[in-house]
């Protein structure tokens, strides 16, 4: 289950809009599937539909059900499939009584969306519908007609395009990323405080305040690693939805502003850090191939395709602790504290380290920058541009960040 703190308003949080005010444009989907976990049979695809040539068997089952989900009642999982599609699955775990033995029924309803529509293909716009279908199917898996109807309504058609809605990043993020020009990958609204821009309820940007609250000044060394295009692995426990949102947001913050692209040495680094979202033991071979690709001579224009991002650094999260032990596959490891620590008297911070256990700490300058950022966010929280009717004013929680700062 999600920790108690997730039900409480964050110190820097902005309430998401109601579903009725959310954007209703849904990106076309390339695949829709129902994953069933059986104690005896294991992972199985109980129902699927996909565009021609898109393989699902033996792939989406493990990505849709990462390790540890049996400990939570529901979750949303983001992942990348075959390098061309973003995946989103809604997981439900419901106790049931069958054949006199009490156990749980676990299913996941997922989609694949082309990555041509953005870092996650804007898959989050389908999240609410997927959760509703999963809630129905976990009670009666024979109701596959709702899947068939959803597929026929939202499947990708040949030549179909999806309009982007441009929205600038809020100036409050300038201490993290001083950029005045953005490329099209930042569309669909990353501005949290401008009333004219509407975000979908499940947009990862809603977790930006929680990202700062969870990492504190540690966000700055993590941000520097992202700018350096290092391989960043976040080791966590289920549920993974929030951590997947963190992966997305750190990737967004790592974008190189177009205004300085021409000033970079040749060959220039990739314009962004690749978000892989949730990965597991079945992705180890991919990570090993990516490690080999990172050793290529990228100065050889004939050997490296500009569109090929392999070996260029990434950020991902995992619930498989074995990946944390393979320190040749990552450059920075972030170990999230377990959920129960959220109610502890003292704040439990993530542990950030480099290979061979070298710790990473924030500096005094990072602490000053973070306090300045927190002060700016507190002003916005105290004086919101468009207060929600009936919403109580929120005061920022004051925390001691000194334990994570190098003096």
pLDDT at 173: 38
Structure tokens, 126: 């389908």
CA distance 61 to 81: 11
Split the chain (407 residues) into runs of 10 and give each run's mean pLDDT.
42 48 72 88 90 92 92 95 94 75 80 88 95 94 94 83 39 38 40 54 93 95 95 96 97 87 74 93 94 73 57 93 95 90 76 95 96 89 61 41 46
pLDDT at 160: 57
pLDDT at 265: 75
pLDDT at 261: 75
Could you tell me which residues come within 8 angstroms of residue 65 by beta carbon, excluding any fewer than 6 positions away? Answer: 35, 37, 43, 77, 89, 91, 106, 108
Tell me the CA distances in angstroms from 234 to 237, 250, 302, 321, one per residue in order.
10, 11, 34, 10
Radius of gyration (C-alpha) of the chain in whole angstroms: 21
pTM above 0.85, yes or no: no
CA distance 30 to 112: 5
Contact 80/87 with Cβ under 8 angstroms? yes
pLDDT at 210: 93
Q: What is the residue-wise DSSP string for 85-139? A: EEEEEEEEEEEEEETTEEEEEEEEEEEEEEGGGSTTTTGGGGHHHHHHHHHHHTT
Q: Tally Cβ neighbours within 10 Å of residue 399.
A: 13
pLDDT at 38: 77
pLDDT at 345: 75
């Amino acid at each position: 289950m999600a920790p108690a703190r997730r039900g409480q308003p964050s110190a820097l949080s902005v309430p998401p809009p109601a579903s009725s005010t959310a954007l209703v444009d849904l990106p076309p989907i390339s695949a829709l599937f129902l994953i069933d976990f059986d104690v005896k049979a294991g992972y199985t695809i109980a129902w699927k539909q996909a565009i021609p040539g898109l393989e699902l068997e033996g792939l989406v089952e493990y990505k849709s059900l990462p390790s540890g989900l049996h400990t939570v009642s529901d979750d949303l999982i983001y992942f990348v499939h075959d390098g061309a599609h973003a995946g989103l699955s809604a997981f439900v775990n419901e106790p049931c009584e069958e054949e006199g033995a009490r156990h749980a029924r676990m299913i996941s309803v997922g989609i694949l969306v082309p990555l041509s529509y953005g870092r996650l293909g804007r898959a989050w716009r389908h999240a609410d519908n997927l959760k509703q279908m999963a809630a129905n199917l976990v009670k009666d898996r024979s109701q596959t007609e709702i899947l068939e109807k959803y597929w026929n309504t939202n499947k990708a058609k040949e030549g179909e395009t999806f309009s982007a809605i441009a929205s600038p990043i809020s100036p409050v993020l300038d201490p993290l990323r001083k950029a005045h020009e953005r490329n099209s990958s930042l569309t669909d609204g990353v501005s949290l405080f401008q009333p004219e821009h509407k975000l979908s309820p499940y947009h990862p940007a809603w977790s930006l305040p929680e990202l700062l609250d969870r990492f504190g000044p540690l966000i700055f060394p993590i941000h520097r690693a992202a700018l350096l295009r290092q391989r960043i692995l976040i080791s966590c426990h289920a549920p993974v939805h929030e951590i997947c949102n963190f992966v997305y947001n750190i990737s967004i913050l790592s974008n190189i502003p177009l205004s300085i692209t021409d000033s970079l040495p040749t060959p220039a680094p990739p314009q962004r850090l690749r978000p892989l979202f949730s990965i597991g033991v079945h992705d180890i071979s991919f990570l090993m191939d990516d490690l080999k690709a990172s050793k290529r001579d990228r100065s050889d224009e004939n050997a490296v395709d500009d569109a090929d991002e392999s070996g260029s650094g990434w950020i991902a999260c995992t619930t498989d602790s074995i990946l944390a032990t393979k320190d040749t596959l990552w450059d920075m490891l972030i170990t999230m504290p377990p959920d129960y620590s959220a109610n502890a008297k003292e704040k439990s911070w993530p542990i950030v380290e480099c290979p061979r256990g070298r710790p990473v700490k924030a500096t005094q300058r990072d602490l000053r920058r973070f306090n300045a950022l927190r002060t700016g966010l507190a002003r916005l929280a105290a004086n919101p541009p468009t207060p929600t009717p009936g919403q109580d004013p929120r005061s920022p929680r004051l925390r001691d960040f000194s334990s994570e700062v190098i003096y």
